[in-house]
Structure 1
Amino acid sequence: MKRTFSIVFLLFLLGALAAPPAQATNGDNLIAVGPVSRAMGGVGVAAPQDAIGAVFVNPAAMCFGPYCPASEVNFGGTLFMPKVDTKISFPNTPSANVSSDGEEKVYPIPAIGLSVPLTDKPPFWRFGLSAYGVSGLGVDYKGKAVDRGNPYFGGYPYASGVYTELAIMKFAPAIAFQPFEKLSFGAALHVDYATLDLRAGSSTGYGLGVQLGAIYKASDTWSFGLSYTSPQNVNHDDVADFDQDGTLDRLKLESPHQVAFGVAYQPTNKFLVEADVKWLNWSNANGYEDFDWNDQWVFAVGAQYKVHPKLTLRVGYNYAENPVKEHNGFNGQEVVSVQGKSMMKYYYETFRIVGFPAVVEHHVTFGVGYDFSPRFSVHAGYVHAFEKTIKESGTDITGQPVNLESSLSENSLDFGFTWRF
């Protein structure tokens, strides 16, 4: 057991050091972690199918996982492939219009999870440990058309936010307690390691939070889950000169309150269907409230079917409305405050629309799992986020009419394996 913990902890550290930026899905959160949950639309509050999924969304579920009463280790990875582009147009001066495609990159995102029993008789206790890339977004328009001065209006920069890179890696030890046959409770400590680069160099910070959860297994076929995740604030020092006074400013970014409810129905050992609803409180989270994000309701549904004793197919759907508000009619010559720092309204709007277009809404997911033995299985999946465009209009810093537009779509490939012991 000590050897297992040592290996897993070492991999956690390697994963944290290698954590890259992701792109947005539900706001700037991935819809789920691990190839199983992601292939099922991100569901898992009531019946996650692996240790990663349980610790990520509801630690109480560790007591009712398909691996119980044994132990399980999961290793997973996601290859994230976003496609983003932007356009800035001037109705009165079409020759000043610019458009750019962001640099297309493949981002690897690690995920590692562990769940082990602490007792072998009632009341049951289990311990879990996970590390994963959970949040992030960014664009890279360096050297592109939007990354230069507008020659028609005094040479002022077309946009702020032409290079943004946010990545959040989470380390989560968890405990679950099952006092009764049909009821379990769980808690996890979330330790966040976040990096933010707004073209002035990378700024790192740490945040802390907790997650609480409960599972009620009403019958052999029905399960209900509830979880709450506290906000987690990270201070990023010397990240950008928002007020253009020659000094780099601090930006606070806070992962928001989250409340999730899920229901799972499993009429046979071959078939499982789950549905989740999640609320994300972006409008009261540091940073996101400053850039005027709406709260999100996330709706997810997923299913898996064992077509063969060794082969499982998975499918899912995930929807959440774009949280980035449109500010049509904005006055680009106004001055707004961002955490106490003054910023021209035009550059505030380009930062929101060009730099952080976290706007995708609809996701479809597919996946497959294969059991080589009762102890070892492999999983793969695919997630597609359909293209979504955000547009708004107002004036630039000279008072000329301007239209801002950004589009984002995403594809990702997921893979991983499970070892039970």
Structure 2
Amino acid sequence: MKNQDIITSNDLRLNLNNAHCSQAKYLKIAQYALLLSCSTLPHLSFALNSGTDVDLSLNPIAGGMAGAAFVKPQEVASALFGNPATLSQFKGFNFEFGAAILEPVVRNQQTSNGYNNQSHSQAGNYIAPDFAISGEVSPGFVLAGGLNVDSGLGADYRTQPINAGAGLGLGGSGVGGAATLPLLVELLSLSANLGAAYEVDSKLSLGAALTIGYGMAQFGTSGNTSGLQSLTGNFGGTTSSVHNISIRGSTGATYKILPELSVGVSIKSPLEYNYHGVLETTVNGSQQYQNVKLDQPLEVTWGLAGNPNSDFLLEADAIWKNWSNSSLYKDVYQDQFLALFGGQYSIGNLQLRGGYGYSTEILRSNPNGTVGGFSGLGTLPLNTNVPGVLNSNDLISVVQTTLGPTVWQHTLTAGIGYAFSPKFRLDAFGAYAFEGSASRSTLALGNYSVTGSEWALGAGANFKF
């Protein structure tokens, strides 16, 4: 980059307030403001079709039924982490442990003025364990506890960095891709649940659960950068790693309309993490670290399950997720509905399972101009507007496709299980979220598109005494 093309932080502030800046200078401003936005939001590549939440999609049995297990779950973990009222269906003593591997495939393409660059996230090989135990302490009253992964995010663009401002042709030079970002971001939330359910009578059951969440967060850049000479500090190593704890609650009910047909409803409160010192900024020459609040959303589920015959189980569930009121996510996501359909057919000791999940689009068509209330990275501001060159939310539109896309909407699953005895069984499942895509265009930053799909495999053991 030539010296005359370098913009310092002070230059940026001056140019934003000078109505007579040239368009070439504005283009450079847009480029460097984009660098900030790309460093503030983690990229989704963890859950199947339920936003960043896992729900029941990775449990050994429910995973084979697309997570449709909020009314008549077939394993204690799905009861404890789904609708707690269903714990009353697990009499005696039940113990389960399992794990799943999740592999996302996400590519982002940046194009403008004949320039074309594709970045493939290297994040993958995620392992999601689950464990649960329950006991009927008195007739109709069940207590349970367990641990699982409830949500996660991840991206790794160190070897295939995102190109910021591809093909801008700054100052008429025709140079494309003047800045690269080796993003490395990851969020992980573990939940320890304590639950209880009471069978009021032969038809009605009520339940509640308390979640103690442990969240870990890391986002920034890690690796070599180019085109960033004007940014002070080690911009190639801005990652931070922090953690926080939080609590949430859930409650639910199930009711037998007929001996063969049950309905259920549950509600789960938000899980709020407050991460301290996660992003560096410089104010009046003083280095500071910004805090951010992140909410896994309020969730409401309802559904019905029935047995057409003694060997056949069908369940249909719906889930509403209130992303639009969740801190950080609300800037890029909108409320989401999911429809889950699952079935199980028993042939003696063998069970065959299948499922389908559908989710509505989650990306907001008109995102906000900032993410999580971050004011900036270094002295570079978010929520920047340059008339005719940069809309105030252009940067976050780019963030949606580079760092925040949940684009898969259709998931197919299959599972199998075998009961070796009335006290012991093994189960396994596979799931595939079909490729989806999204794209955003900006005034001067070019076009950004993303395609993504996922697959998962899991297995577990169940004991009953």
Answer yes or no: same fold by TM over 0.5. Answer: yes
DSSP-derived class of the 2:400 partner? helix
Does the 8 A contact of 2:108 with 2:118 survive in 1? yes
Does the 8 A contact of 1:31 with 1:38 survive in 2? no
The yes-or-no answer on 1:266 pairing with 2:288 is: no
DSSP-derived class of the 2:142 partner? strand
In the TM superposition, residue 306 of structure 1 has moved relative to its aligned partner by: 0.5
In the TM superposition, residue 105 of structure 1 has moved relative to its aligned partner by: 2.3
Counterpart of 2:46 in structure 1 is 22
- For residues 32-83 of structure 1, give each alpha carbon's deviation from its aligned partner in whole angstroms, at most 9, with x where no partner exists: 141111110111111111110101111110112xxx4221111111110110
- For residues 320-361 of structure 1, give each alpha carbon's deviation from its aligned partner in whole angstroms, at most 9, with x where no partner exists: 112112349x9xxxx647426241545433332211212211
The yes-or-no answer on 1:228 pairing with 2:267 is: yes
After superposition, residues 381-392 of structure 1 pair within 5 angstroms as 381-392=429-440
In the TM superposition, residue 23 of structure 1 has moved relative to its aligned partner by: 4.2
Does the 8 A contact of 2:161 with 2:183 survive in 1? no
Counterpart of 2:423 in structure 1 is 375
The yes-or-no answer on 1:359 pairing with 2:427 is: no
DSSP-derived class of the 1:348 partner? helix
Counterpart of 1:77 in structure 2 is 99
**Cα 1:296/1:213, change in 2 over 3 Å:** same
Does the 8 A contact of 2:440 with 2:448 survive in 1? yes
Does the 8 A contact of 1:127 with 1:176 survive in 2? yes
In the TM superposition, residue 94 of structure 1 has moved relative to its aligned partner by: 1.7
In the TM superposition, residue 190 of structure 1 has moved relative to its aligned partner by: 1.1
Unaligned runs of 5+ residues in structure 2 are 1-44, 172-176, 221-238, 376-380, 385-392
Counterpart of 2:253 in structure 1 is 214
Counterpart of 2:462 in structure 1 is 418
Does the 8 A contact of 2:98 with 2:459 survive in 1? yes
| Selected match of 1:257 from 298, 322, 325 | 298
Does the 8 A contact of 1:141 with 1:147 survive in 2? no
In the TM superposition, residue 187 of structure 1 has moved relative to its aligned partner by: 0.4
| Selected match of 2:240 from 187, 201, 209 | 201
DSSP-derived class of the 1:383 partner? strand
TM-score scaled by length of structure 2? 0.77
Provide the C-alpha distance between the structure 1 equivalents of 2:322 and 2:433, rounded to a whole number of angstroms: 22
Does the 8 A contact of 1:26 with 1:360 survive in 2? no
The yes-or-no answer on 1:276 pairing with 2:352 is: no
- For residues 240-290 of structure 1, give each alpha carbon's deviation from its aligned partner in whole angstroms, at most 9, with x where no partner exists: 24789853321211011111001001132211000001110000111111x
Hey, which bits of structure 1, 4+ residues long, moved more than 6 A?
Answer: 242-245
DSSP-derived class of the 1:63 partner? helix
DSSP-derived class of the 1:118 partner? strand
DSSP-derived class of the 2:288 partner? coil
Counterpart of 2:335 in structure 1 is 295
Does the 8 A contact of 1:162 with 1:354 survive in 2? no
| Selected match of 2:441 from 379, 386, 393 | 393
> What is the identity, as a one-letter code, of the residue corresponding to 1:103?
Q
Provide the C-alpha distance between the structure 2 equivalents of 1:295 and 1:267, rounded to a whole number of angstroms: 34
| Selected match of 1:169 from 179, 184, 190 | 190
Unaligned runs of 5+ residues in structure 1 are 1-20
TM-score scaled by length of structure 1? 0.85
DSSP-derived class of the 1:46 partner? coil
**Cα 1:109/1:240, change in 2 over 3 Å:** same
Provide the C-alpha distance between the structure 2 equivalents of 1:305 and 1:63, rounded to a whole number of angstroms: 23
- For residues 294-334 of structure 1, give each alpha carbon's deviation from its aligned partner in whole angstroms, at most 9, with x where no partner exists: 10111001000002x11000000011112112349x9xxxx
Counterpart of 2:205 in structure 1 is 184
In the TM superposition, residue 165 of structure 1 has moved relative to its aligned partner by: 1.0
| Selected match of 2:450 from 406, 409, 412 | 406
> What is the identity, as a one-letter code, of the residue corresponding to 2:74?
Q
Does the 8 A contact of 1:228 with 1:258 survive in 2? yes
**Cα 1:338/1:376, change in 2 over 3 Å:** closer
> What is the identity, as a one-letter code, of the residue corresponding to 2:91?
P
Does the 8 A contact of 2:111 with 2:166 survive in 1? no
DSSP-derived class of the 2:258 partner? coil
The yes-or-no answer on 1:306 pairing with 2:340 is: no
* Structure with max Cα Rg: 2
Sequence identity (%):
27
DSSP-derived class of the 1:266 partner? strand
Provide the C-alpha distance between the structure 2 equivalents of 1:127 and 1:118, rounded to a whole number of angstroms: 7
In the TM superposition, residue 150 of structure 1 has moved relative to its aligned partner by: 5.7
**Cα 1:23/1:276, change in 2 over 3 Å:** closer
| Selected match of 2:359 from 301, 320, 332 | 320
**Cα 1:386/1:112, change in 2 over 3 Å:** same
Does the 8 A contact of 1:147 with 1:162 survive in 2? no
Provide the C-alpha distance between the structure 1 equivalents of 2:214 and 2:293, rounded to a whole number of angstroms: 14
CA RMSD of aligned residues (A): 2.3
Provide the C-alpha distance between the structure 2 equivalents of 1:248 and 1:287, rounded to a whole number of angstroms: 17
**Cα 1:139/1:340, change in 2 over 3 Å:** closer
| Selected match of 2:118 from 99, 103, 106 | 99
Counterpart of 2:69 in structure 1 is 44
- Between stretches 140-149 and 356-365, larger displacement belongs to 140-149
In the TM superposition, residue 412 of structure 1 has moved relative to its aligned partner by: 0.3
